[in-house]
């Protein structure tokens, strides 16, 4: 029996996260990662642009991060009774770097951070409703477990991604179109006094890349301030990846709370929630609170050491310069390639993140715009990329990531492999079995 078969016997779906049974990948078992590469147990090598949905901004198994974790492990394990020096230093650095953060707490995952952000917002305001946007994913917990790519007619009517969620929880969530200023104004006109929080990915990367308009982000800030609602930027993907201060530092719009995860520890399991001190001070580790906060592994020394090493490297080395330059090269190269092949495509992204939608322009601004994407071609060319050892996840609307470990030679090879993959897909037909190509009923990570 193969390892993948053994996995399916004892692990539901055969893997430990939500993206299960991806066509063509059901027998993939990972053996090793390093830099821009991973290897499977049969010895196949892949250049990785999926990047585990985004954490390894420095590259897989970065040696400086690994050394910092080993040093921490040699000197300090987990006690769980008091704070450590590393936690203090990391919190000071996050407060210094991220504009909205006056105080910050560590969690072990991004989902925990968004869970606590929404609970805190409800506790602070005494209100019920949470506003979220199509195209944005915020984790697996009930308040946000809504189908992020619901059909347009379902906007405003939450569509759960999972069985087992109380209808009352779904009814307390409003779903609006991203970048739709009029819808935001209307929601506040109709429900302002009941809105506890507005949560968004400032760049919805869970459907590739929808770039926010300045007017949209400013309208959110204005309406939340006027109504006394808590504005939450979920920067689990964008934090550190687009800038050390998060996308908020680039947009010049400061939320009340910010959630971080993924890239802030280059792959070690960490999340963070931070923001206005008057809100954050409501958290207490005592049951009864007022807002309860706990977690056995929060602030784990290994993870804190990984985060501190990541911050150090991002501050001291030209990481952002490198990944932004490669990102521009990839986007320009892909756009040129599709022009040459006469394939309608919009190549977009931000910095190290890129995605090609197979549709005519203009730049998509909301999930509705992405309904024009040719899913068969999108999934089909990515399956052929995987066959060539270039790993972009073959699922609809997934973004791809560059890291500090990727090189210009990797980009050359990516462009060549993409040309071959797209040509073959056009000649032979795109993926047909698309049922599994969008997973979790459309929820995306």
Q: Would you please indicate which residues are annotated as catalytic (active-site) residues?
A: 137, 234, 262
Q: Is 164 helix (H, G, I), strand (E, B) or coil?
A: coil
Contact between 248 and 202 under an 8 Å Cβ cutoff? The reply is yes
Q: Which of 295, 294, 298, 272 is nearest to 285 (CA)?
A: 294
**Size of residue set near ligand PMP by CB under 6 A:** 16
Q: Measured from the CB atom, is 383 or 398 closer to ligand PMP?
A: 398
Using the rule CB under 6 A, is 53 a contact of ligand PMP? yes
Report d(CA 363, CA 59) in Å as an integer: 29
Using the rule CB under 6 A, is 111 a contact of ligand PMP? yes
Using the rule CB under 6 A, is 114 a contact of ligand PMP? yes
CB of 376 to ligand PMP, least distance (A): 25
Q: Interface mask (CB under 6 A) for ligand PMP, residues 124-143, using x and -?
A: -------------xxx----
CB of 108 to ligand PMP, least distance (A): 8
Q: Measured from the CB atom, is 41 or 162 closer to ligand PMP?
A: 162
Site residues for ligand PMP, window 153-192 (CB under 6 A)?
none
Q: Measured from the CB atom, is 46 or 115 closer to ligand PMP?
A: 115
Choose which of 36, 100, 109, 145 interacts with ligand PMP (CB under 6 A).
Answer: 109
Report d(CA 424, CA 352) in Å as an integer: 27
Q: Is 271 helix (H, G, I), strand (E, B) or coil?
A: strand
Q: Measured from the CB atom, is 52 or 181 closer to ligand PMP?
A: 52
164: Cα within 13 Å, side-chain hemisphere: 4
Q: Measured from the CB atom, is 109 or 145 closer to ligand PMP?
A: 109
Report d(CA 79, CA 89) in Å as an integer: 18
Q: Which of 124, 12, 63 is nearest to 267 (CA)?
A: 63
Choose which of 62, 201, 223, 374 interacts with ligand PMP (CB under 6 A).
Answer: 201
Query: Counting beta carbons within 10 angstroms of the beta carbon of residue 401, is it exposed (0 to 12), middle (13 to 18) or buried (19 or more)?
Result: buried
Contact between 72 and 87 under an 8 Å Cβ cutoff? The reply is no
Distances, alpha carbon 262 to alpha carbons 67, 289, 310, in Å: 19, 28, 11
CB of 335 to ligand PMP, least distance (A): 26
For ligand PMP, which stretch binds (CB under 6 A), given 96-104, 106-114, 302-310, 413-421?
106-114
Bridge pairing between strands 30-34 and 37-40: antiparallel
For ligand PMP, which stretch binds (CB under 6 A), given 22-30, 97-105, 229-237, 371-379?
229-237
For ligand PMP, which stretch binds (CB under 6 A), given 57-65, 177-185, 231-239, 298-306?
231-239
For ligand PMP, which stretch binds (CB under 6 A), given 67-75, 90-98, 103-111, 411-419?
103-111
For the chain, the C-alpha Rg in angstroms (whole number) is 21
Cβ neighbours for 39, distance < 8 A, ≥ 6 positions apart: 30, 31, 32, 33, 45, 46
Using the rule CB under 6 A, is 445 a contact of ligand PMP? yes
Site residues for ligand PMP, window 243-272 (CB under 6 A)?
261, 271
With tokens 């000649």, the residue in question is 427
Footprint on this chain of ligand PMP (rule: CB under 6 A) = 53, 109-111, 114, 137-139, 201, 206, 234, 236-237, 261, 271, 445
């Amino acid at each position: 029996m193969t390892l993948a078969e053994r996995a399916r016997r004892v692990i539901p779906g055969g893997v430990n996260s939500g993206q299960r049974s991806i066509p063509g990948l059901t027998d993939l078992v990972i053996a090793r990662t390093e830099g821009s590469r991973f290897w499977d147990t049969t010895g196949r090598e892949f250049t990785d642009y999926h990047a585990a949905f985004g954490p390894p901004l420095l590259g897989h198994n970065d040696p400086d991060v690994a050394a910092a974790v080993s040093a921490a492990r040699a000197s300090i394990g987990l006690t769980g009774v008091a704070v450590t020096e590393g936690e203090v230093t990391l919190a000071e650095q996050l407060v210094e770097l991220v504009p909205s953060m006056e105080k910050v707490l560590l969690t072990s995952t991004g989902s925990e951070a968004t869970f606590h952000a929404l609970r805190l917002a409800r506790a602070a305001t005494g209100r019920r409703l949470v506003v979220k946007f199509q195209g944005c994913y915020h984790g697996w917990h009930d308040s946000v477990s809504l189908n992020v790519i619901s059909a347009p007619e379902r906007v405003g009517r939450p569509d759960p991604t999972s069985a087992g969620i109380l209808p009352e929880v779904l009814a307390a969530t409003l779903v609006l179109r991203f970048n739709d200023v009029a819808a935001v104004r209307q929601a506040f006109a109709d429900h302002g006094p009941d809105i506890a929080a507005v949560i968004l990915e400032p760049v919805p990367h869970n459907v590739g890349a929808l770039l926010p308009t300045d007017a949209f982000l400013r309208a959110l800030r204005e309406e939340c301030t006027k109504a006394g609602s808590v504005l939450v930027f979920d920067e689990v993907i964008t934090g550190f990846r687009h800038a050390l201060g998060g996308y908020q530092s680039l947009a010049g719009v400061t939320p009340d709370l910010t959630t971080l995860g993924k890239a802030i520890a280059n792959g070690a399991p960490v999340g963070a929630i931070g923001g206005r001190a008057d809100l954050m001070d409501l958290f207490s580790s005592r049951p009864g609170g007022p807002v309860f906060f706990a977690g056995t592994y929060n602030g784990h020394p290994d993870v804190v050491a990984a985060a501190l090493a990541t911050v150090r490297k991002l501050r001291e080395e030209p990481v952002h310069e490198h990944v932004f330059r490669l990102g521009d090269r990839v986007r320009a190269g892909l756009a040129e390639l599709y022009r040459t092949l006469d394939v309608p495509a919009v190549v977009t992204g931000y910095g190290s993140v890129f995605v090609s939608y197979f549709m005519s322009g203009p730049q998509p601004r909301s999930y509705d715009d992405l309904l024009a994407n040719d899913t068969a071609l999108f999934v089909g060319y990515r399956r052929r990329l995987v066959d060539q050892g270039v790993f972009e996840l073959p699922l609809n609307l997934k973004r791809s990531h560059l890291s500090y470990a990727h090189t210009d030679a990797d980009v050359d090879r990516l462009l060549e492999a993409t040309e071959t993959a797209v040509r073959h897909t056009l000649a032979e037909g795109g993926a047909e079995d698309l049922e599994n190509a969008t997973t979790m009923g459309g929820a995306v990570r």
